[in-house]
């Protein structure tokens, strides 16, 4: 097993996740099996109880693990399926050690950070690195480890010490350290400054880790002399100082690293034996980057959410839209709208915000209402669903978005003015609770108690757009994260008026997929299809939304769920040589 540690310095949010994902992509492109681990030094057991404004969205895995959003990057880039133990937190490690102490496993010894916590970290990494993460069910050969936070943080110290020991535990020939650091360029001088990177490396070396590579993050490509200066003061060869400047899209990052001979340098550093040429796989990324930057047309999708002030709150949703746009050779422009701003009260309190929000909504080619929790903004989401339904605008509701669409339909079409969700209103006297709490998940404890992870959804009819978009299967398996569901008591009434629940859980009790008859595309799903969307395999509900927004859905369905030859996605056949793609430049 080979281990690659990715750490970061100077500032947080520097791009370690994308760089770690890109490293895995490059190694996997050479025929090696890759896994990944993310370390978060906070005391929470997992990310499940975080507000999206804390660390961005909570990503959900097949096994129900609620983890950091970077694991979503790993899965999308490397096309792997990770597990809850691939996300290590300080809380998990301390809980593990304390449980062992209570069982008497330490034989009465004083339990300390060194060696007990640091040993637990090393053992966890070694154990998880061997768990298969792809369909072949074979043990991985390379493990990419991202150390969250910033070097110098107090909470990261036990992990840094653990990896100082780990490099000797596994052998230096099996361990590689890459440090991601910032090279700022102040407007006052226009110069690229290396001092922050020098200070960060000095801190890291003082803690016992000498980086083998430095990934220098900058606004623009490093100017001549800066790379050499970093190499000289940070004790690495100049060819191992990697320039990672801001790119037009994340799809260019693996190409940028490959253009600096990182594949060969990693091979030499870790004595890796590559099985295949990396060119076919990287040609796919070149094509993705080209399509993303040179789309022939664009559409606007209104994302009506509760946490739109932080883009990372909906990162998987946005990526799923971009993936669908790539498949349609179309650029998706996402317009974020705070759900509160669409509510009637806002017209009185802040009329400017109200009218701006409605102007954005009316200009959109499609509406997406994503998941969320709590009462705030729900009436705004209901209003957005009503506007999309009445004006025949393509609509996709995910999780809470499905539930709000059902409530709106009950109020407007069936005339149930008291239609509501028990999450919003607990008034038991009202006759039409269309959304109810799942009793088996009401344990009185917040963390990890929802309906989580991969579940099977059975199609109940073949008269369904979603069934066709999913390529006509008997069932689909998607990831869930919810406490509330559509009340099965009212399903028959809703279906009689045209709101069809074409996908249900295996026991038939849970409504999973909703379609509105007579509408170009009005779909709701209880699960989160964005979690398994990939750049070359877009999620069907998002793909349908983008197709409908471009006006191509019906022709796509009539054509047997195939795009026209000019629009055909390149995921089935790829070129094996650079020459086969003449329209893509050789440089990034």
How many other C-beta atoms can be found within 10 angstroms of the C-beta atom of residue 290? 17
The active-site residue, picked from 83, 480, 482, 528, is 528
* 286 conformational bin, left if phi > 0, alpha if psi -120 to 50, beta if neither: alpha
Q: Which two tokens stand for residue 503?
A: 């996908």
Q: What's the length of the chain?
A: 588
Active-site residue, 336 included = no
Find, among 133, 205, 216, the residue nearest to 167 by Cα.
205
- Alpha-helix runs per DSSP H in 271-399: 279-293, 315-327, 344-349, 351-363, 378-390
CA proximity to 507, closest of 439, 449, 457: 457
Q: How many CB atoms lie within 10 A of CB 463?
A: 11
**Vertex 197, ends 191 and 198: CA angle to 5°?**
105
Active site residue 561: no
| Residue 183 neighbours by CB distance under 10 Å | 26
Q: Which of 378, 399, 515, 519 is catalytic?
A: 399
Q: How far apart are the first and last CA of the chain?
A: 31
| Distance separating alpha carbons of residues 523 and 388, to the nearest angstrom | 11
CA–CA separation, 295 and 328 (whole Å): 9
- Go through 244-269 and write b for each residue having 16 or more CB atoms within 10 A of its CB, e for each that does not: beeeeebbbbbbbbbebebbebbbeb
136 classed as catalytic: no
What amino acid positions are annotated as catalytic residues? 399, 528, 530
């Amino acid at each position: 097993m080979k281990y690659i540690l990715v750490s970061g310095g100077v500032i947080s949010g520097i791009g370690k996740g994308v760089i770690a994902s890109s490293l895995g992509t490059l190694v996997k492109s050479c025929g090696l099996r890759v896994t990944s681990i993310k370390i978060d030094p906070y005391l929470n057991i997992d990310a499940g109880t975080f507000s999206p404004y804390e660390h961005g969205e909570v990503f959900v895995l097949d096994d129900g693990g609620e983890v950091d959003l970077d694991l979503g990057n790993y899965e999308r880039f490397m096309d792997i399926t990770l597990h809850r133990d691939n996300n290590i937190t300080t809380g998990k490690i301390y809980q593990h050690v304390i449980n062992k102490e209570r069982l008497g496993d330490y034989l009465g010894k004083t339990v300390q950070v060194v060696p007990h916590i640091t040993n637990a970290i090393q053992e966890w990494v070694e154990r998880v690195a061997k768990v298969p993460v792809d369909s072949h069910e074979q043990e991985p050969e390379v493990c990419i480890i991202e150390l969250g936070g910033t070097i110098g943080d107090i909470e990261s110290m036990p992990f840094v010490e653990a990896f100082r020991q780990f490099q000797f535990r596994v052998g230096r020939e099996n361990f590689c350290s890459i440090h991601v650091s910032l090279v700022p360029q102040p407007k006052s001088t226009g110069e690229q400054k290396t001092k922050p990177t020098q200070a960060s490396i000095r801190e890291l070396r003082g803690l016992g880790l000498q980086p083998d590579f430095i990934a220098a993050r900058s606004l623009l490509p490093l100017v001549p002399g800066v790379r050499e200066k970093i190499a000289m003061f940070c004790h690495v060869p100049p060819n191992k100082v990697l320039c990672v400047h801001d790119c037009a899209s994340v799809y260019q990052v693996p190409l940028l690293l490959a253009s600096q001979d990182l594949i060969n340098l990693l091979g030499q550093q870790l004595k890796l034996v590559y099985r295949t040429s990396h060119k076919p796989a990287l040609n796919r990324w070149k094509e993705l980057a080209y399509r993303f930057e040179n789309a022939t047309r664009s559409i606007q999708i209104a994302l009506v959410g509760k946490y739109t002030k932080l883009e990372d709150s909906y990162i998987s949703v946005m990526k799923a839209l971009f993936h669908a746009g790539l498949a349609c050779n179309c650029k998706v422009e996402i317009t974020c709208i705070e759900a509160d701003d669409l509510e009637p009260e806002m017209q009185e309190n802040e009329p400017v915000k109200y009218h701006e929000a409605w102007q954005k909504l009316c200009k959109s080619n499609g509406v997406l209402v994503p998941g969320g929790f709590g009462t705030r903004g729900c009436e705004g989401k209901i209003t957005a669903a009503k506007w999309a339904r009445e004006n025949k605008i393509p609509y996709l509701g995910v999780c809470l978005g499905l539930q709000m669409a059902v409530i709106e339909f009950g109020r407007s079409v069936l005339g149930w003015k008291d239609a509501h969700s028990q999450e919003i209103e607990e008034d038991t006297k009202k006759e039409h609770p269309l959304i109810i709490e799942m009793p088996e998940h009401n344990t009185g404890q917040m963390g990890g108690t929802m309906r989580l992870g991969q579940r099977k959804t059975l199609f109940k009819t073949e008269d369904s757009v979603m069934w066709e978009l999913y390529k006509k299967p008997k069932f689909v398996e998607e990831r869930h994260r919810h406490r509330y569901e559509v009340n099965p008591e009212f399903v028959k009434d809703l279906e009689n008026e045209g709101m069809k629940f074409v996908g249900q859980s295996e026991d038939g009790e849970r409504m999973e997929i909703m379609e509105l008859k007579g509408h170009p595309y009005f779909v709701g799903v209880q699960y989160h299809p964005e979690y398994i969307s990939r750049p070359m395999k877009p999620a069907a509900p998002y793909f349908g939304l983008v197709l409908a927004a471009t006006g191509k859905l019906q022709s796509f369905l009539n054509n047997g769920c195939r795009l026209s030859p000019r629009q055909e996605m390149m995921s089935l056949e790829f070129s094996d040589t650079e020459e086969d793609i003449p329209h893509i430049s050789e440089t990034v």
